[in-house]
Amino acid sequence: MYSHVSAAALWGLPIVGAWPAEIHLATSRAAGGRSRRGVIRHPQEHSLDVVEHEGLRVTSVAATAVALARVLPFGQAVAVMDKAIHQSRDGRALATRADLDRAFDQLGRVTGRAAAGRVLDFASPLSGSAGESISRAGIFVLGFLLPELQVPHWDHAGLIGFTDFFWRSVGRVGEFDGRGKYLRREFTGGRSTADIVIAEKIREDRLRALGFGVFRWDWSVATSLPALGDLLSRNGIPRAR
């Protein structure tokens, strides 16, 4: 059955960086079989939750997320697991925290179990994008105070919006700006890039009027720990105790 990054592609889970060209399959130890050009086989020592999706046998969202959390770098694994439990505006999610817990419990004593457990403990349904997840993981790894996620802010005119990151104790707002915010229809709502930029500027001005400092970054910073650490320091984000 399809597993790992191939299953992630079928479920719409994010892989940060270039997608591998190979097809990834999970097999039982008894079934055997070797990897060959273009196909990577993953013999499994534990049971897997397998479902049918679009006519294909594929590991479930939760099993896929946990399997990837065993092998991916921490930040990339967090992006996958955050997406798995992220609740859309209509309240739906690809998987629940309980689903992830069950998939994790099925692992038994295997290589990468501790790494998957760390990702599971850190995952949040509030992350709005892979860029936000990678950024939050970097903030944690660098030892900075972790922010609150998706906090609503109000002024005399009403709701300003929900911020990606909010450090309440120091009055700082952080925003991850991926290209999707300006180009993908699910985020643009049919608005032009110019309209979105103007709306973001007005939103930022309203936040600053409340006394908050606002700073932004993109993928080049989110994927570079030195650059992210420098940005956080320059904007007064404290180290965690």
- pLDDT for position 182: 45
Q: At residue 237, what are phi and psi to the nearest 5 degrees?
A: -80, 125
Q: What is the pLDDT along the chain (241 residues), one digit of tens a residue?
A: 788 888 999 999 999 887 777 887 877 654 455 556 677 776 666 667 788 888 888 999 999 999 999 999 999 999 999 999 998 767 789 999 999 999 999 888 888 999 999 999 999 999 999 999 999 999 999 999 999 999 999 999 999 999 999 999 999 999 998 665 545 454 545 666 677 788 889 999 999 999 999 999 999 999 999 999 999 999 999 998 6
- The answer to whether residues 176 and 129 touch, using CB atoms and an 8 Å cutoff, is yes
List of domains in the chain? 4-125 (no CATH), 137-234 (3.40.960.10)
Q: pLDDT of 212-233, one tens digit each?
A: 999 999 999 999 999 999 999 9
- pLDDT for position 26: 77
At residue 167, the 3 state secondary structure works out as strand
Sort strands 158-167 and 172-176 into parallel, antiparallel or unpaired. antiparallel
| Cα-based distances in Å from 151 to 57, 148, 165, 217 | 39, 7, 8, 18
| 131/73 Cα distance (integer angstroms) | 14
Residue type present at position 97 = R
- pLDDT for position 35: 55
Q: Give me 210's structure tokens.
A: 């409340």
How many Cα atoms within 13 Å fall on the side-chain side of residue 137?
Answer: 28
- The answer to whether residues 2 and 56 touch, using CB atoms and an 8 Å cutoff, is yes
155 forms bridges with which residues in the sheet?
158
- pLDDT for position 222: 96
172 forms bridges with which residues in the sheet?
167, 213
| Cα-based distances in Å from 239 to 54, 85, 143, 204, 236 | 46, 28, 6, 25, 9
Q: Tell which residue, 46, 17, 202, has the closest CA to residue 112.
A: 46
- pLDDT for position 188: 46
Q: Cβ–Cβ contacts within 10 Å for residue 213, how many?
A: 15
Check residue 168 and report its DSSP letter.
Answer: G
Residue type present at position 79 = A
59 forms bridges with which residues in the sheet?
50
- The answer to whether residues 72 and 4 touch, using CB atoms and an 8 Å cutoff, is no
